[in-house]
Structures are given as C-alpha cells and as structure tokens.
A and B are shown apart, each in its own frame.
Chain A
Amino acid sequence: MRLPSLSRSWRFSDRVKLKIIRIASGRPPADILKILHYRREFFGEPFTAWVHQVLRGPSEWSVGERELMATFVSHLNQCRFCEGSHAAIVDATLGPDLTAAVLADWRTARLRAPLRAAFELLEVLTLHPGEVGPELVEAAYAQGVTEQGVRDVIHICGIFCTINRIADAVDFAVPDDKGLKGDAYQLLKRGYAIG
C-alpha cells in the first residue's frame, strides 16, 4: 500500500475489530478494510452506507446480478483488486462460468434481457459518461427495467468508478484465490456497511 500511515490512526474499537479479523481469517486485513476504517467519518462510513444500500438493499436486481455489474465496471476500469473481489461473489452466487463469459464479451454471454440492457448502459456510462443519453434508459425500459432499476445501475457504476480509482491509487494488494473466496463469504454474509 502506497500510503502506509493509513494502516494506523484507527479508533480503538476498530483496532480491536481488525485484530479479530486477522486472528479469525489467519491473514492481515485486506487493504480496503484499512482504508475504510481510517478516519472513517471522512469516507468509510458514508461510502459503505451507500454501497450497502445499493448492493444489498431492496432491488429488482438480485445480489448476484448487482455483483456481476460491479465486476464488469471494475473490469472496464482495469482494477484487478475490485474485479477479483466481486467476481468471487458472483462465482458463489451465479456460478463460476458467468463472470468469464461476461468479461470476454457481455453481448454474447447468456444474460436475461433486462440485464443485457443494464450492461449496455454500464459500458457507456463507465467509459464515456458524456455520451449517455435518454436512449439507453429507454432501451432498458423496453426490456422491462424499471426507473428504480436504472437508478440502481447508475449507482453501481458510480460506486465502482470511485473505489476502483482509490484501489489503484493506493495500490491495494490482490488476495490469492483462497483469500478472495473468504472475503466473498464474509461480504455475502455480512454486507458492506461498517456501521
């Protein structure tokens, strides 16, 4: 991690919490945990409240589908840490083959029609935000996506276009496969909010 002082200056209760995580998992806490608990009021708390609401709150998209969108945006942004982390959750929820198919070419992957429309919106919004117009929203509506469903897609894009940049700027270490699976289990079980 490029800013080592972010691994310090946690409040006492968070130091205890991260110590417990280290003991329970048998490895140091992921870099993202260090960042989220560093001056948590500045970023970690409000960010994870937003993420938890969008990725785990009520939605017409399943948890696995939202995680697949997260993986896709991270892939477009070339963020290996976030892509790997969220792909592990997709593997656990939607099966191990879907992520690879989507990342190879979402247009040919076996996706239901509303999800395909969501990926079209995500691709343009991530790579060319200035080119997004109402046509992409209307195309999603035509496939049965609701207004709230479109909002969820937009927020997923915003979340990962934010955290992908932080992960790469700070240079988060990418866990091995076992670590990714362990983190995926915890994220499915507990969600994102650090409270």
Chain B
Amino acid sequence: MPLHPHHDEDNTAEDLFAALRHAVLDGPGSTPSRVRHAVAAAKVDELNHELRGYVETLRENAWRSTDEQVRELLAVGWSEDQVYELTVAVALGAGGRRVDAGLAALARAETRLAAGAAPAGAVPTQSMPASVQATPVGAPEVRHAAA
C-alpha cells in the first residue's frame, strides 16, 4: 500500500485524525456535507429510507453487507462515487466513536488521578521491573510480545 515512508512527528495522532474527519465530512464531495455528517453520526431519522439499512449494517455488522444492498442504492440513483463517500463516512463515524469514547475515558482517568484517586495497585512506570516497562522507541523488533 505504502510507497513513501513518512514520519510527520509534528502532528499528533489526534491532529491527523481531525484532518481526516474534516476531509471526509467537510471536504469537497459528490454528496452534501450534511448527509455525510448524518451517516457518520448514524442519525438514521435524517436519512432517506433506502440509506438507513445500509448505514445500520455498516455501523453494526459490516461483514454482513451484501452486493444486493449496494445494487439497490445504485438502482435508486446514487452514483458509485456517492456510495463510496457515504461508505467512508459511516465507517469513519464508527471509528471516530471509538476514538472519542477512548479519549473521554482517558481524560476521566487523568482527572481522577489528578484528584488523588489513583487506583489501588497503580505503580509508577519507573518502578516497574524492566521486563514490563514500555518497549523503548526503536528497539529491535524481537519477539517481546510474549511474556
């Protein structure tokens, strides 16, 4: 897939995800941005009937999507380019839901720690045995995933 190794260490993963979300939901496209936002947020009430089933399948059980579902969308007038945009928007909505939920949990954990509610058993990283400390950046790719 990749042809140009590229490390842009000035951008955090959060920055890069925000840029992706902006490109997919707000960038130029063949579907209105409003529709892309609606499918990403799975606001099915705002969607045409023919889109609802497709969006719900992709969001919850994408492996169950079928040729027939795509054919039906094309048959009622959506172009392949539009189906592609909507597919990406639904998928990104599902991925973004995980990112947002994870970062919210992380923020709550940090707030609790700052308030002095460190969980029982929490041990500062520095005091962990070397065998369980974080792998140094650039460490050789040896089989250190196994205990």
Contact = CB atoms under 8 A, between A and B. Distances in A.
Interface of A: 2-6, 17, 30, 32-33, 36, 38-39, 41-43, 45-50, 52-54, 56-65, 68, 77-79, 93-95, 98, 110-115, 121, 125-126, 129-130, 132-139, 141-147, 149-155, 157-166, 168-171, 183, 186-187, 190-195
A43 B145 contact: no
A42 B144 contact: no
For chain B, give the interface size range. 35 or more
Contacts of A161: 91, 94-95, 97-98
Best-surrounded residue of A2, A153, A193 (most CB of chain B within 10 A): A2
A104 to B, nearest CB: 15
B19 interface: yes
Contacts of B27: 41-42
Contact of A49 (B14, B19, B141): B19
A3 B29 CA distance: 17
A91 to B, nearest CB: 11
B108 to A, nearest CB: 4
Contact of A194 (B1, B20, B134): B1
B95 A159 contact: yes
Contact of A147 (B84, B110, B119): B110
Interface string B29-46: 100000000000000000
